[in-house]
Amino acid sequence: MDSPGVSGSLRNQLALTLIGGAAVLALLLFFAVRSYAVQVAQQGQNNILEASVTSMLDAAAIRDGRIELDLPYAAFSMLATPADDRVFYAILQDGVHLSGYEDLAFSQGATGGNLMFEIGEMRGGAVQKISASRTLIGANNRTEVQIVLAQTQDALSETLDQISRNAALLGLGFFGLAAALSFWATSATIGQLGKLTSSVTRRGPQDLSPFTKPVPREMAPLVTSLNSLMGRLDQSLSRSEDFIAEAAHRVRTPLATVRSYAEATLQRVDKEENREAMRSMVKAIDESSRAAGQLLDHAMITFRADHLEREEIDLVVVARELVLRLTPIADMKDLSLTLRGDPHVPYSGDLVLIQNAVRNLIDNAMKYSPAEGAIEVAVALHPRPQIRVCDRGPGFPTDEIEALTTRFRRGANAANTIGSGLGLTIAREVAQAHGGQIELANQEGGGACVTLSF
Amino acid sequence: MRYLIVLVLVCLGSTGWAQNWEDRQVFNDTDAATTLRIISSTDTDLFAPLIDTFVARNPDIAIEYLVTGTADIDLRFRNTPEAFDIAISSAMDLQLKLVNDGYALPLENVAHLPWAEWRQSLFAFTSEPAAIVINRAAFDGMAIPQSRQELIEALRARPDVFRNRVGTYDVRQSGLGYLFATQDARASETFWRLMEVMGGLDVRLYCCSGDMIDDLTDGTIAVAYNVLGSYAEARAESQSTLEIILPSDFPTTMMRTAFVSRATKKPQTAAQFIQFLVSYQSSPVDGAGLLPLLSEKENGAERRAIALEPALMTFLDRLKRNKFLSEWESALIQK
């Protein structure tokens, strides 16, 4: 069978979409957490800088007309960090440097008590700067003290590194979880399709009945289409079987008439060459009639195989009846037909089908047996109920044994014998309908054996 | 700062300061490939065993050891940072400010206790408490004061005995003296009362521990406040006459610190020396030298040293320093 053209995979598409979505979400989560952490950490540093600069400004006073600024020890002490950040400061009075680092500048001058932050660079390190100012009122002057304080950001970046690592782990964990969930969701969804597929695959070759098992809503249209397709297929199949049966039946009756006329004519004709022609004619009619019969059998079997009518039968009785019925024909061909085996082989099966199968097998044996040949029908109970038909004919061509039970297939050495090639097919289908099998073999010393086991 | 230079020059008693040192010694002079220049405030006697061990283990390294005062180290280093490979000083505040100002080289592979290093650049290697050192003769038959408060009482009780016979650092000259004084002032008001009492007794002021111990030993002074006990202990001849008292009310413990100059041309050799210095001073097995080891506790009591943190820069602020010095002068130099 051709495999259908495959483009893409639903499972991959679904999994990729879900995992891609999870990756985007995990990245978003990472950046959101990180940017929030940056904000919080920077806010923390700013708060400490603010507290420090405020405590420094508080210590400023005018004494004897001069600025005094008694730096509190705590102002720098509170700026100690685990990463030992560097601290710079400058004290300015009305914009003139008073104490501290002369190279520490702030972009804006003092603006009356407002706190201002800015990022800058100081002696080879990035720093966060704060500037604050305070107006001091002396006895006869007003003056503005501005303090610029700067701190490097080593501890901050260490904290951020740590938070980034944790955020990355969080993102990865989230992604892993989401990916696992995606795989699970994908296989659960695709699993429904798989179930339908396997229930289609498991069906027998003749089973065209509709699917009735419940399926998810999204798959219902597919199953409905499938059911309607199978319904139409079933209908057209049975229509063609009916047609074949009807045709065979219609042909058989006129053929019988023609045959009896030909027989009668043969009695009246004296001329040897005319008699020979008449005999050929009878033979051809026989062949056609037999073929029509087999087609009818086959159609019947195809129909009954789906609705077996099982009853308790004795395979020995079945075989004996057939042997008795066919003995006269065998005698005509100088063949001996014998039955042997177990006395009783009870089995629950479809009598009509089994009769048909065995008769076809005996027919075949008689057809291929040479004159004076012996045909043996053996019935056995063990290991499984079985009927074996053996002849002394040419046997099966060994390289074709497997293919011979196919419809209309005939052995390569059977060209000179009349036959439709349906006999073994019928026997095989009967066996399979009963859950059994057919086995073809050549026996030692020549001849073929066909075993029908149930 | 300018007047500081003048003071330093006075202390050194010289005019061409750039070439004059309290002491200058070269170790392993003969067959060394590299020479490390170390500027230090620690007397050569105390440091020599350590350097000898180092050069014995590293015969290809010579060490030029230059000794000067703590304030002078700060000054010289700021002027010519490229002239020195390592700076060692007992003035923690000046050292920390040098590092803060970017003069130090961070060292990657020096494993040290977090409280004993700053920015992986400044490494502490001793713990030395400031002590009250007395000449036993002056306290013959008297109770020996164990705290600052008891010292105040002892001085007040016999002003005639102690007049002009008490000594302490001139904090205007000595960086270490300034550090001790400011830390004492932070800790307790007792410091100011002691200063006033000492001022009333016509205190003698010294630039350096060594001079103070000399005067103590020969009996010129009877009491020295805030001297390094390690210096007194190191003098064998002083052992019988002097008594070293670690004040029981609150300790002031200094840590000697070292850093590698950012401008050094031998960063690896300098780092090697610092590694050796730190491990030598941390493990009692190695430390057979004269310098006190680095330790978190002393005599079982909690004696946390002055913390290495930016707050050390507080008293170096010009305004703050002026204010402190004027208070100190008004307490001590009563005219």
Nearest CA in chain A to B118: A84
Q: How far apart are CA B325 and CA B323, in angstroms?
A: 6
Do B165 and B177 have their domain in common?
yes
| Residue that wins the pLDDT comparison between A6 and B26 | B26
Q: Give the model's pLDDT for residue B6.
A: 46
Partners of B314 on chain A (C-beta within 8 Å) are 71-73, 75-77
Q: Give the model's pLDDT for residue A412.
A: 59
Q: Do A99 and B318 touch (CB under 8 A)?
A: yes
Q: Do B314 and A69 touch (CB under 8 A)?
A: no
Q: Do B320 and A75 touch (CB under 8 A)?
A: no
Q: Give the model's pLDDT for residue B79.
A: 94
Q: How many domains does chain B have?
A: 2
Do B243 and B173 have their domain in common?
yes
SS (H, E, C) chain B: CHHHHHHHHHHHCCCCHHHCCCEEEEECCCCCCEEEEEEECCCHHHHHHHHHHHHHHCCCEEEEEEECCHHHHHHHHHHCHHHCCEEEECCHHHHHHHHHCCCECCCCCCCCCHHHEECCCEEECCCEEEEEEEEHHHHCCCCCCCCHHHHHHHHHHCHHHHCCCEEEECCCCCHHHHHHHHHHHHHCCHHHHHHHHHHHCCCEEECCHHHHHHHHHCCCCCEEEEEEHHHHHHCHHHCCCEEEECCCCCCCEECCEEEEECCCCCHHHHHHHHHHHHHHHHCCCCCCCCCCCCCCEECCEECCCCCCCHHHHHHHCHHHHHHHHHHHHHHHCCC
Nearest to B310 among A67, A87, A125 (CB): A87
Contacts of B201 (CB under 8 A, 6+ apart): B155, B159, B162, B163, B164, B165, B166
Backbone angles phi, psi at A317, to 5 degrees: -65, -45
Q: Is the peptide bond before A82 cis (omega within 30 degrees of 0)?
A: no
Q: For A290, what's the count of Cα atoms within 13 Å in the CB-facing half-sphere?
A: 18
Per-state percent for chain A, helix, strand, coil, to nearest 5: 55, 20, 25
Q: In chain A, what percentage of residues exceed pLDDT 70?
A: 93
In contact, B251 and B180? CB cutoff 8 Å: no
Q: Is A112 on the interface with B (CB under 8 A)?
A: no
Do B121 and B262 have their domain in common?
yes
Q: Do A72 and B314 touch (CB under 8 A)?
A: yes
Q: Give the model's pLDDT for residue A399.
A: 75
Q: Give the model's pLDDT for residue B271.
A: 95
Q: Do A87 and B307 touch (CB under 8 A)?
A: no
* pLDDT per residue of chain B (335 residues) written in tens, 0 to 9: 455 554 444 444 443 444 689 899 999 887 778 999 999 999 898 899 899 999 999 999 999 999 998 999 999 999 999 999 999 999 999 999 999 999 999 998 888 888 899 999 999 999 888 999 999 888 888 899 999 999 999 999 999 999 999 999 999 999 999 999 999 999 999 999 999 999 999 999 998 888 899 999 888 999 999 998 888 887 766 678 889 999 988 888 999 999 999 999 999 999 999 999 998 888 766 555 678 888 766 544 455 789 999 999 999 999 999 999 999 999 998 75
Q: Do A84 and B119 touch (CB under 8 A)?
A: yes
pLDDT at A414 over 70: no
Q: Do B314 and A80 touch (CB under 8 A)?
A: no
| Vertex A86: Cα angle to A80 and A87 (nearest 5) | 80
Helix (H) or strand (E) holding A69: strand A66-69
Beta bridge partners of A451: A388, A439
Nearest to A79 among B310, B318, B323 (CB): B310
Q: Give the model's pLDDT for residue A329.
A: 82
Q: How confident is the model at residue A150 (pLDDT cuts 50, 70, 90)?
A: very high
What is the sign of the dihedral through the CA atoms of A42, A48, A50 and A56?
Answer: negative
Average pLDDT rounded to a whole number, residues A52-73: 90
Partners of B311 on chain A (C-beta within 8 Å) are 73-77, 79-80
| Residue that wins the pLDDT comparison between B277 and A363 | B277
Do B45 and B95 have their domain in common?
yes
Helix (H) or strand (E) holding A176: helix A154-201
Nearest to A76 among B120, B308, B311 (CB): B311
User: Is the confidence metric ipTM above 0.90 for this complex?
Assistant: no
Contacts of B238 (CB under 8 A, 6+ apart): B213, B216, B217, B232
Q: Give the model's pLDDT for residue A406.
A: 65
Give pLDDT tens digits for A254-289. 888 888 888 888 888 888 888 888 888 888 888 888
The token pair at A250 is 């219609």
Do B238 and B323 have their domain in common?
yes
Q: Is A87 on the interface with B (CB under 8 A)?
A: yes
**Nearest CA of chain B to the CA of A171: how many Å?**
32
Select the residue from A45, A84, A88 to test the B interface by mutation, using most B Cβ atoms within 10 A: A84
Q: Is A55 on the interface with B (CB under 8 A)?
A: no
Do B9 and B119 have their domain in common?
yes
Q: Do B100 and A67 touch (CB under 8 A)?
A: no
Do B287 and B206 have their domain in common?
no
Do B148 and B288 have their domain in common?
no
Q: Count Cβ neighbours within 10 Å for each residue of B261-280 and write b for 16 or more, e otherwise.
A: bbebebeebbbbbbbbbbbb
Partners of A88 on chain B (C-beta within 8 Å) are 100
By residue range, what is the domain housing residue B227? 128-253+316-332
State the CB neighbour count (10 A cutoff) for residue A237.
13
pLDDT at A89 over 50: yes
Q: Count Cβ neighbours within 10 Å for each residue of B162-181 and write b for 16 or more, e otherwise.
A: beebbbbbbbbbbbbbbbbb
Q: Give the model's pLDDT for residue A405.
A: 67
Partners of B102 on chain A (C-beta within 8 Å) are 86, 123-125
Do B175 and B246 have their domain in common?
yes
Do B202 and B321 have their domain in common?
yes
**Nearest CA of chain B to the CA of A98: how many Å?**
8
Q: Is A86 on the interface with B (CB under 8 A)?
A: yes
pLDDT at A163 over 60: yes
Q: How confident is the model at residue A411 (pLDDT cuts 50, 70, 90)?
A: low
Q: How far apart are CA B176 and CA B93, in angstroms?
A: 9
Backbone angles phi, psi at A289, to 5 degrees: -65, -40
Q: How far apart are CA B200 and CA B335, in angstroms?
A: 10
Q: How far apart are CA A43 and CA A28, in angstroms?
A: 22
Do B326 and B199 have their domain in common?
yes
CATH at B84: 3.40.190.10
Contacts of B155 (CB under 8 A, 6+ apart): B162, B166, B197, B198, B201, B223
Largest Cα span, chain B: 61
Q: In chain A, what percentage of residues exceed pLDDT 90?
A: 23
State the average pLDDT for chain A.
Answer: 85
Partners of A84 on chain B (C-beta within 8 Å) are 118-120, 308
Mean pLDDT lowest for which of A6-20, A337-351, A409-423?
A409-423
Nearest CA in chain A to B121: A84
- Strand pairing category for B23-27 and A60-63: unpaired
To the nearest 10 degrees (0 to 180), the angle between helices B175-187 and B70-79 is: 120
Q: How far apart are CA A261 and CA B85, in angstroms?
A: 136
Q: Do B102 and A123 touch (CB under 8 A)?
A: yes
Average pLDDT rounded to a whole number, residues A410-429: 68
Q: Do B319 and A99 touch (CB under 8 A)?
A: yes
To the nearest 10 degrees (0 to 180), the angle between helices A154-201 and A10-58 is: 160
Do B69 and B11 have their domain in common?
yes
Q: Give the model's pLDDT for residue B14.
A: 40
Q: Is A48 on the interface with B (CB under 8 A)?
A: no
| Residue that wins the pLDDT comparison between B175 and A422 | B175
- Contacts of range B51-55, beta carbons closer than 8 Å, 24 or more positions apart: B51/B27, B52/B27, B53/B280, B53/B286, B53/B288, B53/B289, B54/B273, B54/B276, B54/B277, B54/B280, B55/B27, B55/B28
Q: Is residue B310 part of a domain?
A: no
Q: Is residue B309 part of a domain?
A: no
| Residue that wins the pLDDT comparison between A414 and A168 | A168
Average pLDDT rounded to a whole number, residues A332-348: 84
Q: Give the model's pLDDT for residue B15.
A: 39
Q: Is residue B231 part of a domain?
A: yes
Q: Give the model's pLDDT for residue B149.
A: 94
